[in-house]
Amino acid sequence: MTAYTRPSSVPDAAVRTAKGLPVASTNDLKNGMVLDLDGQLWTVIWFQHHKPGKGNTVVRTKLKHVLSGKVVDRTFNSDTKVDTATVDRREMQYLYHDGDGYVFMDTSDYSQMVISEDTMGDAKNFLLENGTATVALHEGNPLFVDMPTSVELEVTYTEPGLQGDRSTGGTKPATVETGLQIQVPLFIVSGEKVKVDTRDGSYLGRV
């Protein structure tokens, strides 16, 4: 893949800095950093510095579009200057879901905001009313919702299993209280609380 080169019409680093726009080098990329590329916001989810046998070092990245969730591969020349977006991360409490979206309250000033289902993404599968999450904002607009790496959820329904069966590999579907369906060991029964990985929805253990 060819290295990404910023269009000449975009102001250079000195001009952007003079205007107060945050700028970073591709050598300083971090996971979770939000980049402003041609007016679109992208979150860095993976990066790697790579030096070909011949030629200059490049930085390979996987970027997730903040609004659509689309993931793309982009390659930058080493030490390329890119615009970054100022992201305000706030702890918020999830109150309830209405027809317009998910209503959150900022725990610092008690103000409320509605977050759309698209912006919620997979977080909606793990969040209970009155639970807390980190909401990332850009210019006052919600970008995405960050959950802890694991949550505790009650199994509301699963087929009766074998209490004594703890063999590895034996699993069955179970529905948890958010409505999400996960795979659990055969000995799990309805009413039990389990720990679930929010990154992939996998079962981590009994609570």
What domains are there in the chain, each with its CATH number?
Answer: 13-84 (2.30.30.30), 88-146 (2.40.50.140), 150-206 (2.40.50.140)
Cβ count near 43 (within 10 Å) = 21
Q: How far is residue 94's CA from residue 148's CA, in Å, rounded to a whole number?
A: 14
Q: How far is residue 68's CA from residue 66's CA, in Å, rounded to a whole number?
A: 6
Q: Which of 130, 201, 182 is nearest to 192 (CA)?
A: 182
Q: Which residue type, as a one-letter code, is found at position 205? A: G
Query: What's the pTM value of the predicted model, to 2 decimals?
Result: 0.69
Task: Kindly list the averaged pLDDT for each block of 10 residues, start to end, along the chain of length 207.
Answer: 38 42 86 89 90 84 86 92 91 92 94 91 93 91 89 95 63 96 94 95 95
For the chain, how far is it from start to end, CA to CA, in angstroms? 46
Q: Judge whether 148 and 128 are in contact, CB under 8 Å.
A: no
Q: What is the DSSP string of 60-94?
A: EEEEEETTT--EEEEEEETT-EEEE---EEEEEEE
What's the pLDDT tens digit per position in 63-101? 988 877 789 999 999 999 999 998 899 999 999 998 889
